[in-house]
Structure 1
Amino acid sequence: MGLLEAGDEQTWTAQLVALANDQGFPYVLFGLLPSRQTRFSTAFVRTNYPAAWRARYSDAGFVHIDPTVAHCLKSTLPLVWSRATFEEALAGAMYEEACAHGLRSGVTLPVHGPQGELGLVSFASEHAPDAACAHRMAAALPVLALIRDYAFASAARFHEGALEPGLPRLTRRELEVLRWVMLGKSSWEIARITACSEATINFHLANVRQKFGVNTRQQAVVMALGLGLLSTEEQRR
């Protein structure tokens, strides 16, 4: 309730830190984007992570190799940190630096909002990520998930209007249709694949072109690829 009743961002952040401390985590980070199409650099972030680590993380662009961020982009499940989480070389080097700042173990919970919001809440501590630590964190997950949900709901009044308007948001159906266009399918073929009418497919594509401000579906595909909404790996497959 302290999160819901906080009158300003400073009080809200202090309440979030206090809740994390109650669960045995001295550090917590809440980050949110209005949509998947928005740049990471514009995220609404509130945290008590060490300032030196935050500066280093930002300067090095670690957000693009951070496996906890990658996890939240594709999953709704919590992630308990382990050494295996950071086994990739670049992520491993990032993790070693995080450890030097007192962030050795933790739990990251994805945020996926009803309007396409995307984010995470990470709870971290200085304890080694051994089996006993992982067990304690797993036991705390129900409470941490509740904190995550209240944090997301209560933070809206602070970040609304502060987040970058960002790039046009595409619906899941629009992305699906655009993906088939990228693979060379016609409207008629996409209609057969998706069990929709050809008119519906053309309607979705018209919306995409309007949102991107382009004239052709091919231009829309190029823009979506540039924004990372579509993958060239899918093209090759």
Structure 2
Amino acid sequence: MLPVGYTSILEAGSRDDFRREVVRFSQSLGFNTVSAMAVVDLAMGRSEFVSIDNAPDGYAAAMHDVPAMRRDPVMQHCRHQSVPIIWDQDTYTRRGLGELWEEQARFGYHTGIAMALHLPEGRHFAFGVERDQPLPSDGGELQRLVADLQLFAVHAQDAAMRLLSPLLPQVDLPALTPRELEALRWTMEGKTAWEVGAILGISERTAVLHVNNAMHKLGCTSKHQAVLRALRLGLIS
């Protein structure tokens, strides 16, 4: 039987219910603030999102600096990784981004734990908790805390996609041919066009054509971008 915290988020029937349960669970673990975000990838590298949080007044306006946020190490980690990140001032200062930490620290964002779940069809769920006190120094206690948050995030993403995704644009998956998908899969494995052609029994020129067609359909300018977008959309694995 699932603990009450997990069943409650699964039973959320509205955005307000969802926000209340996310905040309640996070505060029960000792975190002042929390954010939960449903994201969907669109064409040409664009993404849309719907966020639920309990950020302090003025935080969103103060942090509304898109170029700076694109450099944020926590956001960049969650964009590309599925494992949680435990962050604090050192996470920013060792990358020369101490000013970003200082800006958010004045709102109580001193340290925290963040993670992202990357789902098929270009959908993602990001979840982060923050507080102004240090995290547990005991390794076992910290590991249990991260595990609790991971388990909650798995259940929260189900409710988030149900309640928040309808507010996001619908994604029309590109119609790649089987050959184009095969060419991308082997490109992902590091194969050259000549090697892809040899594996698929086609000419190098035809292999290049399949990859280029896939790039065009995915709205990408390089084969590496095309592979990443196809992965995010769940077209290849």
TM-score using structure 1 length: 0.72
1:70-219 pair list within 5 angstroms:
70-86=76-92, 87-89=94-96, 91-128=97-134, 132=137, 136-165=141-170, 174=184, 177=187, 186=193, 188-192=194-198, 195-198=199-202, 201=207, 202-203=209-210, 205-212=212-219
Deviations along 1:119-147, one digit per CA (max 9) or x if unpaired, are 42111111146x62877543301110011
Q: Residue 166 and residue 64 in structure 1: after superposition, are their counterparts in 2 closer, same or farther (change >3 A)?
A: farther
Residue 94 of structure 1: how far off its partner (Å): 0.7
Query: Given residue 221 of structure 2, which amino acid in structure 1 is its aligned partner?
Result: V
Q: Which runs of 5+ in 1 are unaligned?
A: 213-219, 230-237
Aligned CA-pair RMSD: 3.6
Query: Given residue 72 of structure 1, which amino acid in structure 2 is its aligned partner?
Result: C
Aligned length: 212
Percent of counterpart pairs with the same letter? 18
- Is 2:63 the counterpart of 1:57? yes
Supply the distance in 2 between the matched residues of 1:207 and 1:59 (Cα, whole angstroms).
33
Do the aligned partners of 2:34 and 2:54 also contact (CA within 8 Å) in 1? yes
> Secondary structure of 2:129's partner?
strand
Q: Which runs of 5+ in 2 are unaligned?
A: 1-6, 230-237
> Secondary structure of 2:58's partner?
helix
Residue 109 of structure 1: how far off its partner (Å): 1.4
